[in-house]
Chain A
Amino acid sequence: MGNIGDDPREIEFEPLTQPTTAPVPEEVPA
């Protein structure tokens, strides 16, 4: 554990993008 600093506030984040480290899906031939 650590100290995240002063004036902590509760915020909920909704990611805009896909997971940064998600595996790249294989391309499927049409």
Chain B
Amino acid sequence: MTGAEFSDRPLVAGSVIGLRAFATLPDGTLVSPVFRSYQWTEGENVASCEPDSLAPSAFRLAATFARILGIAAPEHELLALRCGCGFYGYTDGSNDMMRTGFWMYPVAGLIEGYGRCVVGSRGFRAEKARLVALIADQPGAQYRPRLYEGRAVLTLVRTPNGVRQINAFTPGPPDWSAIRSRYPDVPVYPTTTAALAAHPFTSTEEIR
């Protein structure tokens, strides 16, 4: 075994817990508000780069321009500093996709990130993640944009057998009955405060 096979990332025992937002599909499935092709499952979720996602990607744009200009495409290693992939969580009390209203009816939740991670002053992105808790209140509702109001949204989803298909649906308020049915082992708390009392943030400042 050569030295190149060893990662130079510091190895830390434990994981990181952070707050994040989800979009919901009509059947209660949680997806990223941005990369809606990924459907969250109970247990372990593993991140991968999504070159065929319908969502914008700075990396893909850079790769396209590099190809046009005939220069080397930017290096892209999953969960490296220059990569934007991974499951995002925030550890400073903020929750970007709830705040910016990228999705009309976001749902907040806590995730536990581990494996290869990039940790910053506000939070992390992780190679692997588990759903820890969901939060029933909707503090981001006032931010919801009118962009999607009454309009169909297209999502590219990957079925369990690997087939990609485009789904169209009109977003609506989260169906908590469907969400609970889809994720029966994930506790739902009435407020963020209650969820954090049971599953406190990880102090990323101490880790870093």
Which residues on A are within 8 Å of B, measured CB to CB? 1-16, 19-23
For the complex with contacts A5-B122, A11-B118, A13-B11, 4 further pairs of A-B residues with Cβ separation under 8 Å are A4-B121, A4-B125, A13-B114, A14-B14
Chain B residue nearest in CB terms to A2: B96
Which residues on B are within 8 Å of A, measured CB to CB? 7, 9-16, 34, 42-44, 79-81, 84, 88, 90, 92, 96-97, 112-126, 130-132, 185-186, 199, 207-208
How many A-B contacts if CB must be within 8 Å? 106
Hey, which chain A residues are within 8 Å of B92, CB to CB? 5
What are the 9 closest A-B residue pairs judged by CB atoms, nearest first?
A: A5-B122, A5-B121, A2-B96, A5-B120, A4-B120, A13-B114, A8-B120, A6-B121, A12-B9
Hey, which chain B residues are within 8 Å of A21, CB to CB? 42-43, 130-132, 185-186
Choose one: B14, B120, B199; the contact of A6 (CB below 8 Å). Answer: B120
Q: Can you list 22 A-B contacts with CB-CB less than 8 angstroms, sorted by A residue number? A: A2-B88, A2-B90, A4-B121, A4-B124, A6-B122, A7-B120, A7-B208, A8-B120, A9-B208, A10-B117, A11-B208, A12-B11, A12-B12, A13-B14, A13-B114, A14-B114, A15-B15, A16-B14, A19-B130, A20-B199, A23-B42, A23-B185
- Cβ–Cβ contact B185 & A4, under 8 A: no
Choose one: B42, B112, B119, B121; the contact of A11 (CB below 8 Å). Answer: B119
- Cβ–Cβ contact B117 & A11, under 8 A: yes
> Complex formed: what's the CA distance from A6 to B204 in Å?
12
